[in-house]
Amino acid sequence: MTPFGAAGTGSVQVPGSKSHTNRALLCAALAEGTSRLSGVLFADDTKAMLGAIKSLGVEVEENPSELTLEITGLGGRPRLNESVIDCRSSGTTSRFLLPVLATGHGPATLDGSQQLRSRPFAEQIAALRSLGCSLEETAAQGGLPIKIQADGLAGGEVEITADTSSQFVSGLLMAAPLCDEGLTLKLLGTPVSRPYIDMTIEVMRDFGIEVTNLDESTYVVPPSGYRATALEIEPDATAASYFFGAAVITQGKVRVDGLDERSIQGDIQFVSVLEDLGAKVTWGDRFIEVEGDHIGGGSFDLRHFSDTAQTLAAVAAFADSEVEITGIGFIRAKETNRLTAMTTELSKCGVEIIEKPDGLLVRPNKWLLRGATINTYDDHRMAMSMSLLGLRVPRMEVLDPDCVNKTFPEFFDRLEELRPRAQERSGVTSVIAIDGPAGSGKSTVAQRLAAELHLPHFDTGAMYRAVAVAAVRAGVDIEDADAVTKLARETNIEIHERILIDGVDATEDIRSADANQMVSVVAANTQVRQVLVPRQREWATSLGGGVMEGRDIGTEVFPDALLKVFLTADLSIRAERRFNESSEQTLESVLEDLKRRDQIDSTRQDSPLLVAPGAIIFDSSGLSIEDVVSDLATIFRGLVAG
Ligand code: DC
């Protein structure tokens, strides 16, 4: 992946909701008459449901380019004919279908991919057996494949444990009107993903079925028949979460069309989490817009919208403080063990993340982020969430990206649409801002990048160093803030091939161990900064921009820089680099020195060294200068290209 290098902006059309589509497909398949669905998702999971209902004899007219479907339903219970129904990797298809098959007549086998075979079905099997259905697991207990010998369901009362998947409940609810006596459903345990149960009830209502909620955990469905209808599928709120995440991570502004707070999808609550973290949200009429600001921290219970947990964990990698995600132990039984998978893959990227029994704890430190090769475990949500890191971290490689076909075949194209282009951005300064701690390779990278791109190079650190040397030469106490400021104002500093202080060469002096010691004090002097920062702006502006390095270029000097980079490297590697440059100190003392300077630079009151909003975070630890320069040149050229 190639990082954005600046704020991602734009409007995105996300595909239809998988959950909404698959519910509507099944209800339409059972209905009397012809239903017309628009805004339909065409992806692996919905193709699984489509294939299944067709194999039951449902007539389907597909128009994928228009995103519509016409479905002529069975008008009642299905007749089974020994067919093997392949649910592929679709949890919804399999869990929705099994109880519906049970209301029919005849033999059938429900099966799916290896991945689906390892997901749980035991709760639903138990519930159906208690209703008198004959089911046989032909491989592992509690899983697919399941052979069913259906002979209708009398119905009555049934209990179902709902603390691993709400899909068990949704399936039984959709089968309920086809039971002779209807069904009274009692939920055991603390149900997860309740909004999905509400969505099921909503869609059933669209198809003419009333579900009564006796109390928190009891649903009553009288015997009845589905009636065909015309239904518009909502855009997928989970799919939208990645784009809202992109806005927040790159500190950009992204609008998703077709969704608003009236959505029947619980995952819309993810937007409120982003709002709590600091994002600005516009809840529009048929659109939601998220504008990234700083990302704070906090603790969030995602029990009812757990499909966005991976998105949140990816966002948390860029947060300013700890982010805790709770209530989601059950997502271990999704496409993969999502808690372990996310912990493993984020750790590879330098994120401190702890897997807890019921969630994740992320302790972010942007300085330590680095690109990695990401395994996706055949989980579309691993691919989509982890790719968000690639918007700001170079050298991210996402393996098996096609796994997004499960719910969002065009995901990566849609994400590309948010990539910033220089000519579409107003008020940008043609500056490449390179900030980072000492020893991160900033100076060499900035110089070489400037040469490579034929742009001027500006070393702002040299300005602060020159003031320190000027103070020594003038016998001014470095701690005397006013005197040093006066000096900064009155001294003529020229930074070209050589560095001249009032015409006297100081090229070597400004790099001495003494200067190293004093410069942090100079740089922490607010008044000195007030003198030097405007000079730095003038300097770059007068030459039409270029590559400028320092500590506060992206945050303070040119916050609207065309490309912002935060260059980092492991502390030990930075120390080694500094040690190799000069033999005045031992490695040990260089390391101590760096630690001290990191501390002063990043905690000082004025213009601390921070990762600028939206800046690329580039860890140069294992890389050659050439690698870093060539990556940055590519990113820059991408930004200015048409
Ligand atoms: O990059 P360098 O080591 O030459 O920087 C010298 C010092 O100046 C260092 O302590 C950080 C500080 N500095 C700063 O505060 N702001 C800048 N824009 C550049 C450097």
Domains of the chain: 9-13+234-416 (3.65.10.10), 18-232 (3.65.10.10), 422-640 (3.40.50.300)
* Residue 585: per-residue pLDDT: 85
* Residue 477: per-residue pLDDT: 97
* Index of the ligand 1 atom closest to the CA of residue 465: 6
Residue 488 parent element (H or E): helix 481-490
Buried b (16+ CB within 10 A) or exposed e, 397-428: ebeebebbbbbbbbbbebbeebbbebeeeeeb
- Report which of 229, 323, 250 is spatially closest to residue 30, judged by C-alpha positions: 229
- How far is CA 123 from each of CA 97, 119, 148, 161, 572, rounded to the nearest angstrom? 14, 11, 16, 6, 53
- Report which of 401, 299, 382 is spatially closest to residue 340, judged by C-alpha positions: 382
Residue located nearest, by CA, to atom 14 of ligand 1: 551
Q: How far is the CA of 434 from the centre of ligand 1 (A)?
A: 12
pTM attached to this predicted model: 0.94
Pairing between strand 287-291 and 253-257? antiparallel
Q: How far is the CA of 629 from the centre of ligand 1 (A)?
A: 21
Contact partners, residue 405, CB within 8 Å, separation at least 6:
43, 44, 380
Residue located nearest, by CA, to atom 15 of ligand 1: 523
- Report which of 132, 122, 196, 116 is spatially closest to residue 160, judged by C-alpha positions: 122
Q: How far is the CA of 437 from the centre of ligand 1 (A)?
A: 8
Contact partners, residue 380, CB within 8 Å, separation at least 6:
335, 403, 404, 405, 406, 407, 408
Contact partners, residue 232, CB within 8 Å, separation at least 6:
37, 38, 39
Q: 568 near 620, Cβ under 8 Å?
A: yes
3-state secondary structure of 490: helix
3-state secondary structure of 254: strand
Contact partners, residue 632, CB within 8 Å, separation at least 6:
432, 445, 449, 563, 565, 616, 618
User: Best of 435, 443, 458, 464 to mutate for ligand 1, by most ligand atoms within 8 A of CB?
Assistant: 464
End-to-end CA distance of the chain: 19
Q: 25 near 226, Cβ under 8 Å?
A: no
* Residue 108: per-residue pLDDT: 98
* Residue 642: per-residue pLDDT: 58
User: Identity (one letter) of the amino acid at 418?
Assistant: L
Under-70 pLDDT residues of the chain: 583, 642
Walk across the sheet containing 561-568 and list its strands.
457-459, 546-550, 429-435, 561-568, 616-619
Contact partners, residue 234, CB within 8 Å, separation at least 6:
16, 17, 20, 39, 258, 259, 263, 264, 265
User: Best of 511, 519, 600 to mutate for ligand 1, by most ligand atoms within 8 A of CB?
Assistant: 519
Q: How far is the CA of 140 from the centre of ligand 1 (A)?
A: 63
* Residue 516: per-residue pLDDT: 85
Q: 257 near 235, Cβ under 8 Å?
A: yes
Q: Which of 44, 198, 307, 435 is catalytic?
A: 307
* Residue 513: per-residue pLDDT: 84
Contact partners, residue 216, CB within 8 Å, separation at least 6:
none
3 state SS for 312-324:
HHHHHCCCCCCEE
Q: How far is the CA of 589 from the centre of ligand 1 (A)?
A: 19
Residue located nearest, by CA, to atom 13 of ligand 1: 461
User: Identity (one letter) of the amino acid at 117?
Assistant: R
DSSP-H helix ranges across 307-406: 309-316, 338-348, 380-386
The verdict on the CB of residue 601 being under 6 Å from ligand 1 is: yes
Q: State phi, psi for 141 to the nearest 5 degrees.
A: -60, 140
* Residue 340: per-residue pLDDT: 98
- Facing residues of 493 across strands? 501
Residue 307 designated active-site: yes
